[in-house]
Chain A
């Protein structure tokens, strides 16, 4: 059994502690002569210490926007127009740039996709790693270097001494991904955001990277938001799973409940898509997909135009993200009823 799938100890359910709390977060992109486009709409999530929350969504759903907005750095020209991102008793959205600098990369860090493009091409990998320790942990050059080397060993890069001097273009995709993970874990952050961190990797390398990430996160008892397009990963890697569609959480539940008893029509479609079963997929697509209802997503359900169960009320009233059974929330007027 892949080690990362091995009975992941569920996070302490009763613990009231919260590692990160996002409330009513809203990110908008200005549109020339028009209403701004809402990329993240009044989104709430909370993640417990030690928990890995999976966030599944397709391109354009707002995954990356959410990840970056948590660090108060939404992709340009997006703007955070409302909400709270509470971490360690403070609202990150109200901090100054200088205060944020001290949190980013130290208390909250991010693992990015396509790491070869994200690393500075002119600076050796070891120097990039060491500068994190110098900046955030006030280490001198020498001990920062030692830490960097230790970190490269921890992410199991072969021949770390030599890799310290390597430039990003000399690394394979998998190796660069390990470096980015090493950078993210350097300061033992309490919260890690992984944004599609394994998307460009081959499956055998992906398996190694996931295992490594899980191991290190558990060791440091950090919490993690794991963003991905691949619903399969979340079934084996995450404690809870959320589905995001057009900037809104559609369903969020503990892993078992999510996969054994999914309830939202969009979740059903995503699962049917994996199976390549045309009948099931058709059952979860509206009969005439080409006729798209023009729904105002501000007042109606964002999924209306793709939903086979949509009725009048879906266009006029946005469903709440309501708890169906313990911990299993669904945003739908007509979710699948089970039991």
Chain B
């Protein structure tokens, strides 16, 4: 699953623009991820501050 570290996120929308599924949305100062997310990790890669992380659920 995609974890959003809200204490790190700058709510800039960089991730939203690259999401191939359109699964992310920036709602004012709140980043939302919906069930279209495939955990591809593109958003986590481009985030300027490292606020997104794809977590392997089995390891949690």
**Do A and B associate with each other?**
no
Residues of A within 8 A of B (CB): none
Residues of B within 8 A of A (CB): none
